[in-house]
Structure 1
Amino acid sequence: MKQIHLGAFLNAGVQGTAGWRHPDASPAFLTAAHYVRIAQTLEAGRFDFAFVPDALSVPRSLGGSFDPAVKWGSGTPRLDPVPVVTLMAGATTHLGVAATVSTGYHEPYNVAREFATIDHLTGGRSGWNVVTSFQDAEAQNFGQATLPPRGKRYARAEEFLEVVTRLWDSWDDDAIVADRESGVFGHPERVEAIDHDGEHFRVQGPLSVPRPPQGYPVVIQAGASDSGRDFAARWADVIFCSHASLESAIAFYADVKARAAAHGRDPDQVKILPAATPVVGVDAKARHEAFADLVSIEAGLSRLAYHVNVDLTRYDLDGPLPTLEEVGVEGHYREVVEYAEKNDLTVGQIGRWYGARTEGSMVGTGTEVADIIERWVDSGAADGFVIQATHVPGAFDGFVGEVVPELQRRGRFRTEYEGATLRENLGLARPERGEWKARRK
């Protein structure tokens, strides 16, 4: 019986468009105690990992101003995810922690050192959510007028991943001996420079941090475009995605697994975890309707504009969503198009729906939500889910208290962690030194 994997998606700031308005939401999202509390809840629920998204700007996608983002809490504020997940790791012993870092506005050496350090300090529980950035507002904080085209962003990301993994491999696993009697600390012949000279980066190496306990920290990626899917199929250990229907999820799952196999990888070593936003309880429908009432059309449109990087104020709110040629997050755009066409929604109606949407349509009792999770996994749509919360910490409390015990009762989810590292708990092999050669384009 296939075991289900669970991750948690957690903003380092407010949750969603109206999560901060929920009467049970914690207002303490700028405090350490907030993230410690959530991390300990997720570990009690035996989650594989928590990951924190990021964007390097206050969005300006709606009307060319950051006012809507600030007014409605859409995409802002965002704390630096790296210290947040480090804090969460320090409050737990098994929970994996992953931070989002862009390949567009960082350098490979810094990122390699950062995640190797976290991996050592946590005993092998770190993950890196790789993004190429999707907001012009981010570009404008780093000396660019607009975001580079998708092809250029992925070309840079390809080289970035090659350099980072080579740096992680620049130390052999047994390079350090620390022999006090002989006075020999390490074997220099087992540490090597990488001398990389490419189109985007020149990096000598070696890394100043020894090889991580996991070999490579777990790589998470959310590519939905054709280039994004191919990139993820070669580099990612976990693929995060979003779907408006079971059918589109099945098609995505089959496509990415086939791409992984075509690149010489074992498809089982690529875990596909769609987003899900459960509302759990005997009164789940009423609770979800009450939550949806907190979402204004403007807040939903602000969130959607942020994700697709398109100013939606230029369109008639009472008309259909036109075809958008170049968007920020293509997975979210495809999800919106599929749902809007199926339900004949106007732009305004899309905004209201998008602000309160529950990916996976998981609204019901713990038993009913567990049924849906099993159906998706057993239909070949997912290896598990990344759980998003309508509000925190209450939504995670409800899932851990009602859905997790039901999945455990059915034998579909662990009652104890299988291993000490995130890779072990996800059922992922530890990469051999030099594996980067097989993954590069």
Structure 2
Amino acid sequence: MSYETDRLRDRVAVELERARDRTVTLTEAVDDGDLVRQHSPLMSPLVWDLAHVGNQEELWLVRDVGGREPVRRDIDELYDAFQHPRRDRPALPLLGPAEARRYVSSVRDKVLDVLDRISLDGSPLVEQGFAFGMIVQHEQQHDETMLATHQLRAGAPALTAPPPPSSAGAVAGSVLIPAGPFTMGTSTEPWALDNERPAHRVEVAAFHIDRAPVTNGQYAAFIADRGYDDPRWWSADGWAHRQAAGLTAPQHWQRDGDGWAATTFGRTARVVDDAPVVHVCYYEAEAYAAWAGKRLPTEAEWEKAARFDAATGRSRRYPWGDDDPAANHANLGQRHLQPAPVGAYPAGATPEGVHQMIGDVWEWTSTDFRGYPGFVAFPYREYSEVFFGPDYKVLRGGSFGTDASACRGTFRNWDYPIRRQIFSGFRCARDA
């Protein structure tokens, strides 16, 4: 067994444990009544997410990679996300909290045994530990979903975290990204998912992109200028949704004297003016951008601004370079339960001075979610391909609730343009 293989096994084990520790934190923070309760029809009960991550781990790592006997074949249908809409899941005969905990623990024991014995090269599914990395990312993605469920639950606060760092200096204005091609996507990132592949050259016209996400203070100015009441700023679909949903401000905002307050994980406080606005849908972002005389960036523009190194002509893994994210680079991993003020992570900025493209808030782009040229579904169509089309918009960059294992310069998220329970914000762009 080689030194490199040992290191890979160790890394996989560490990442599996980190994901599980976070799952435990999110599920142990509340009592069993909260675990089985549905806090919003948009979200599953937390206990469903708990058993679901175990079931996916069993399907892929115990049965498929490991070739072992099933742990609980009888529950496969209950935890198939495509079989039951979220709103219907509380009515299913789900595993109770104690049984779900025993189940995921039993699955993990078998997975660690598989990890000790399996070869991590050969088939594409196990090459460089891909299947294990896929499951790590799957659990971390559900952890972020569970964090969003915590944001929607009523009652006393259940989660705590220190505040994010303060801004290291004002960040304003935009930067010019020159015209030209760049390499978008990846063919070399070992744990990249199918929709990030393959790497391909994209020609992008010159454009300006804001150095920071739109802040609460900037968004409040849009509201004060009656932006929600003026159809000039809204697309036809956006205006129809604004009226039907009665949108008047970001989700969780409420008036507070002459300003705004927001409720965040059970605590209500004045919004931080220089922190990125969060919990806005695509249509709200689109309307603000039009009001500001700008637009949302395309996905290719966003990625070029985040990754392209004009000095070398290559695409970096992250805005700051190729090193994995450290605590001084980005607000990731639920270390803080809110976005950080703009300028709080100067070490994470691009060489051109574009800040916080990783972490803090998912950023809406104007691009529909589709496969790249040469896309091949792997290892199953339901991860990406079934979502391709005009119904979903791409979000990029991750949020304060996204783990570093599930966030890269190439990582793609997607959702309906009406969604805002997710940790979504945006930045603006304009033509050069």
More helix by share: 1
With normalisation by structure 2, the TM-score equals 0.25
With normalisation by structure 1, the TM-score equals 0.24
